[in-house]
Amino acid sequence: MNSGAALSSGAETGQLVCLMTDPGGNFGIRVDPVSVRRFIKLARTVFIAGFLLLVIVPWFGGFAVDWLWSREVKFEQVFLASFGWRIGLLLLMGGLTFVFLYANIRRAAPRSTHELTLFATGLGAEPTVIGRALPSMFLVGSGFISYVIGMTASNSWMSYLLAARGSDTGITEPLFGNDISFYLFRLPAYSGLLATALFVTALTTIVVAFLYVLKRELPVPQAVPQTPGAAATPRASWHVAGLAAFFFVLLAVRLWVVTRAELASSTTGPLVGASYTDIHATLPAIIVSAVAALGAAAATLYGAAKGQLMRNLAIAAAAYATIGIVGRGVIPTAMQRLLVTPNELARELPYLERHIDATRRAWRIDDVAVRDLSGEAQLTMANIRANAPTITNIRLWDRDLLMQTLGQLQEIRTYYDFVTVNDDRYMIDGQYRQVHLSARELNSASLPTQSFVNERLTFTHGMGLAMAPVNEVTTEGLPVLFVKDLPPESTTSLKLTRPEIYYGQLTSSYVFVRTAQREFDYPAGDANIYSKYEGTGGISVGSTLLRALFAWQLGSLNILTSSDIGDSARVLMHRNVLGRASRALPFLQFDPETYLVVTEDGRLVWVLDAYTSSTHYPYSARVAGGVSYMRNSVKVTIDAYDGAITAYLADSTDVMALAYEKIFPDVFRPLSEMSPDLQRHLRYPNGIFRLQATLLSTYHMKEPDAFYHREDQWQIPEGAQRDRGISPYMRHMIMRLPGETEAEFIYMTPFTPRGKDNLAAWLVARMDGDEYGKLIVYRFPKQSLVYGPRQIVNRIEQDTEISRQLSLWDQRGSQAIRGELLVIPIDESLIYVQPIYLQASGEASIPELKRVVVAHGNQVVMATTLDEGLAMVFGTGGVRPVQTAIEAIAASAPQRDSSIDALLQRSQQHYDRAIAAQRSGNWADYGREIEQLGAVLRELKSRTGNP
C-alpha cells in the first residue's frame, strides 16, 4: 500500500490509530489527534471514577469498620501503627520509585518533531507529533509501577520496624562475627530494599534504552559492524551508562551485604550453615563477583566516554555473568563432589559443631536438663502408693471417644456442638485433679430454621461446658461428669457464674445483641429460657449511619431495615477466638490448640499460645516453612462473654518479643499482671513442644562425630495418629517426677532408638509454678532393655486371654476399641495402661469403658478397673479377697462373744476406711488400714480357732 492510499483509507474510516509506510519505506503510526484527545479524556475519567468506586470507597468502608473494631478491643495502637507505616511506606517507596522512574523517562522521552515520527490520519502525508499524549502515557505507566512497588514495600512494614527497633542479642555468629540480631532484624530489611532498588533500576534502564532506540539515539546491538552514523548520541550514552553503572553498583552492594551474610544459612553442605565449600569456594567467589560488578560499572562509564557504550556494556555484563556462573556455580559444585564428599566428616567437622550449637540455642533445647535413670527398678505396691497422685490421674478416656460420648449425652439440642476436648488441672474439693473439658458451643448452621432473626439476633451464644475427671467411670462405663447439663450444674466446688459463650471456636459469624429480640439462653424441658446481653463487648450501631456502614460491609440489607436493631444494639464481630487474636496481633503466629479455663469467679476464659519466629537464624535447622527460630513468648486471653483480649509477655529473654514490645508499648502486659488463677492453668503449647522433641531426638548428640554418624538418634514412637497428627504417646498428665516431692502437671513424650522399639528416654515440659517451661529429658541406660510402646502393644496382642475377650466382643455386634496406650513413668521405671472400650453398632452408639490393661515388665493383665489391674500386677490380692475373708470368718464362728463382735466391727471399719483411701488416691492411708485390718483378722483367727 502506498502513502496516499493509506491516508485516504484512514480519513474515510476515522481510525484512531493505524500503521503505514511513508514514500521512503519507513514505518510510522498514523493517529487522529482529535480522537486521541477524546479517548485520553474519556479513559482518564473512567479510570478516576473506577478507582474511586472500586478501590477508595470500599477501602474507606473497610477501614472504618476495622478502626471501630480495634477501638472495641483496645488495640488501636497496632491498627494505627500498621496503617501509618503501610501508608508511609507506600508513599515513600512509591514516591521515590515514581521520581526515579518518571524523571529518567521524561529525560529520554521525545521532545521535538524529529525525535519520533507519527503520522496523523486526516491531515495528509505530513508528519506530526502528538506531544500531549506521550506525557500522559508516561505519567500513568510510572504511577502504576510506583503504586505496585509501594504496595509491595508496605506489606513488609513489620520488617522495617523490626530493623529499627531490634536490640542486640549479645551472641555472635562465628563466620563474620555479626550479632544474631543482624540476621533476625536487619538482614531481611536490607534484602528487601536492595531487591526493590535493583528491580526499579533494571526496569528504568530497559525503558530508557528502549526510548532511545526508538528515537534512533541508541543503536540496536548487531552481529555485524554498525554502519556509519549509527553510533549512540552522547546524551543517550551517558544516560543509559549511568543507569547501568548504578545497577552494577547495587549488585556489588547486595553481594557484599546480603549474599555474603546468607551463607550462614546455606544448605550446600550436609546441614544448614556455611560449610567447607561455602567458605573456601563460594565466599571468595562472592567477593570476586562484587569486585567484578564494580569493574562492570566502571567499564560501562568508560564505554560511554569513548563512544562504545553498547560494546562495553555487553562485555561487562557477559564477564560478570561468567564469573558468577563459574565462581559461584561450577567451582563450588566441583569442590563439593570431588574434594568434600569423599572426606565429608573431616572437612565439615568444625561447621557441624556450629550448626549443632546454633540449632540447640535457636530452639531452646540447649538448656534441657538431663537426668539418668537406672532402668532396672522393679516397682512394688509401695511405689504405687508413693505415687498416688500419678495413679489417681491416669487418663482413661481418649479425647476423641470422650467427644463422641459428650455429643450423645450432653449436646442436648441439635444446634449445640462440642468441638474439642482439652486437658487441664484444677483443685477440686481440695484435691489436685486432671480433667477433660469441652465447651458447648452454638452451631448456627444446625439451627432448624435459617433466618436473619434466628442466626443474627436470637441464637447468639453457646452455653457452658462439660467437665469430666480423666480417670473415673460410672458402673455403666460412661464418664463421670463434674459439670454437666443445661443450665450447667457442678457436682464439685467448681462453679460457673457466667457460662454464656459468645466467643469461641465455632463462632465465626457476627451477631447483634441488645436488640428488641430476646436472646435464646438454653432449653428447659418444653420451654426456652431467654436472656439479654450484659457484657461490654461489641460495637455500638445505634445510629442510622453506622447501621448503613455495617449493612454495606457485612453484605446484609436487613441490618439497615430491621426494626429490631435499635439505638442500644451492638454488633459482635470476629468471634472465633483464634481469628480474633490473629486479627488483633497479626505479627504473631498462634498455636491452633486453644483451651478454655474456668476461673475462680466462675467465668470462662480462652487461653491462646502465641509464637515469635524467624526464618533467618544463622546455622539453625529449619522446619516447615523455613522457620529456624521460635519462642512461645506471648500468652493471650479472650473472655468468652465480652471478648476482651489481653496479651501477656511470657518470655522476657526473647529478643523478638522485646522488639515487638518496643514497637507497641501499650499492647503487652508483663505476665506477673495475669491473675494467679489463670497462671495456674497455663500450658506448654503442643506446637513448639512437638518441634523441640523432634529436634532433640537428633540434637541431644552434641559431639559432631556422633551427630554425623547418628549413633544415638532417637525417634518419637509411631502409633495411631488420631489427634490432629499428634503422637498418641505425647500427652498431658499429673505425676511426681523422679527426685521430686510433689506431683505436677507436665507434658510428656517417650523416645525410642531410631529403628528400634525399646525405650531410650522420655521428655517432659513442666507447667506448674516457678518450674513452668523447664524441659527435662530422662534417659535410660543404653545397655538395659526397657520395653517401649510398640513392644507392649505386641505383648497385649499376643496375650491369649485378652485376644479371646476382644474377639468375643467383636462377634456380638459390637466393636472393641483399644484406646491409646498410656506410658506412665513411676520413679525410675514405667507402667503401661490401655483402656478398652465397647461400642455397639449404629450411629447413635456410645463408647463405654469396659476394661483396663495394665503392663509392667513381663506382666500384662486385663481387669475391670484400673485398681484391680494394679492389684493383679503388684500382688496386693485386691480388695475383693479381703471382703471374702471377713465374711468367711464371721460365718465360721458358731458362738461369738462380744469381743469377737467388736473385732468384726473393727475389721469392717478398717476395710471401709481402706476403700475410701483407695478411691481418694491416698495410698499411704490405704496401706496403713490394710495392715491394721490384717492384724485384726489374725486376732480373729486365733480366737475362733480357724486354721
d(CA 296, CA 302): 10
Would you state the pLDDT for residue 125? 36
| CA separation for the pair 423, 411 (Å, rounded) | 19
Rg value, the chain, Cα: 38
Express each pLDDT in 683-703 by its tens digit: 999 999 999 999 999 999 999
User: How confident is the model over 878-901, as a mean pLDDT?
Assistant: 46
Q: According to DSSP H, which parts of 527-654 are helical?
A: 544-554, 558-561, 577-584
Per residue in 240-282, pLDDT (tens digit) is 999 999 999 999 999 999 999 999 999 988 899 999 999 999 9
Above 80 in pLDDT, residue 331?
yes
> Mean pLDDT, to the nearest integer, of 185-192?
95
Residue 455 has pLDDT above 80, yes or no: yes
- Secondary structure letter of residue 419 according to DSSP: -
Instruction: State percent of the chain over pLDDT 90.
Output: 59
pLDDT band at 6 (very low <50, low <70, confident <90, very high): very low
Lowest mean pLDDT among 59-73, 398-412, 918-932: 918-932
Q: Identify the pLDDT of residue 941.
A: 67
**Cell numbers representing residue 882 in the block:** 479381703
Span 782-787, mean pLDDT?
84
Q: Return d(Cα 204, Cα 139) in angstroms, integer.
A: 14
Query: What is the tens place of the pLDDT at every residue in 731-755?
Result: 899 999 988 889 999 999 999 999 8
Mean predicted lDDT score pLDDT of the chain: 85
What is the reported pLDDT for 196? Answer: 95
Q: Looking at per-residue confidence, does 41 or 791 come out higher?
A: 791
Q: What's the pLDDT band for 892 if we cut at 50, 70, 90?
A: very low
Average pLDDT over residues 115-142: 53
Task: Check: CB of residue 612 under 8 Å from CB of residue 654.
Answer: yes
φ, ψ for residue 739, nearest 5 deg:
90, -10
H/E stretch holding 402 reads helix 399-409
Indicate whether 497 pLDDT > 50: yes
* All three cell numbers of 165: 527497633
Asked if residue 487 has a cis previous peptide bond (ω within 30° of 0), the answer is: yes
Which helix (H) or strand (E) element contains residue 128?
A: strand 127-128
Task: Tell me the HSE value of 4 on the side-chain side, using a 13 A CA sphere.
Answer: 0
Mean pLDDT on 811-830: 86
The reported pLDDT for the residue numbered 128 is 43
Task: Region of 253 please: left (phi>0), alpha (psi -120 to 50) or beta.
Answer: alpha
Taking the C-alpha atoms of residue 204 and residue 362, their distance in angstroms, rounded to an integer, is 41
**Residue 675, C-beta contacts closer than 8 angstroms, at least 6 positions apart:** 599
**pLDDT surpasses 50 at 447:** yes
Cell of 122: 486526516
Which range among 132-136, 232-236, 605-609, 704-708 has the greatest average pLDDT?
605-609
Whether 21 has a pLDDT exceeding 70, the answer reads no
Residues 6+ apart with CB under 8 A from 58: none
Render pLDDT for 23-40 as a digit per residue (tens, 0 to 9): 555 545 555 566 666 776
pLDDT score of 124: 37
Question: How would residue 724 be classed by pLDDT, with cut points 50, 70 and 90?
Answer: very low
Place 811 in a pLDDT band, splitting at 50, 70 and 90.
confident
870/876 Cα distance (integer angstroms): 8
899 pLDDT tier (thresholds 50, 70, 90): low
Please give the pLDDT value at position 211: 85
User: Residue 501: its pLDDT value, please?
Assistant: 97
| Grid cell listed for 761 | 528416654
Q: What is the pLDDT of residues 543-588, one digit of tens each?
A: 999 999 999 999 999 999 999 999 999 999 999 999 999 999 999 9
* pLDDT at position 64 over 90: yes
pLDDT surpassing 70 at residue 113: no
Per the document, the length of the chain is 947
The Cα 188–Cα 786 span in angstroms is 48
In order, the DSSP letters of 727-765 are -TT-EEEEE--TT-SS-EEEEEEEEEETT--S--EEEEE
pLDDT at residue 318, rounded to an integer: 94
Q: Answer yes or no: is pLDDT of 922 > 70.
A: no
pTM of the entire structure? 0.84
- Rounded distance, CA 817 to CA 805, Å? 12
Whether pLDDT at 13 is above 70: no
- Segment holding 839, helix H or strand E: strand 829-840
Q: How confident is the model at residue 149 (pLDDT cuts 50, 70, 90)?
A: very high
Q: Does residue 229 register a pLDDT over 60?
A: no
Nearest residue to 793 via CA among 821, 815, 756 = 821
Q: Is the pLDDT of residue 111 over 70?
A: no
CB 442 within 8 A of CB 461: yes
Mean of the pLDDT values across residues 225-235? 64
Q: Is the pLDDT of residue 226 over 60?
A: no
State yes or no: pLDDT of 465 exceeds 90: yes
DSSP string, 163-196: HHHPPP-S-B-TTT--BHHIIIIIHHHHHHHHHH
* pLDDT value of residue 878: 40
Average pLDDT, stretch 632-647? Answer: 97
As a whole-number percent, the residues of the chain with pLDDT over 70 amount to 86
CA distance 732 to 822: 11
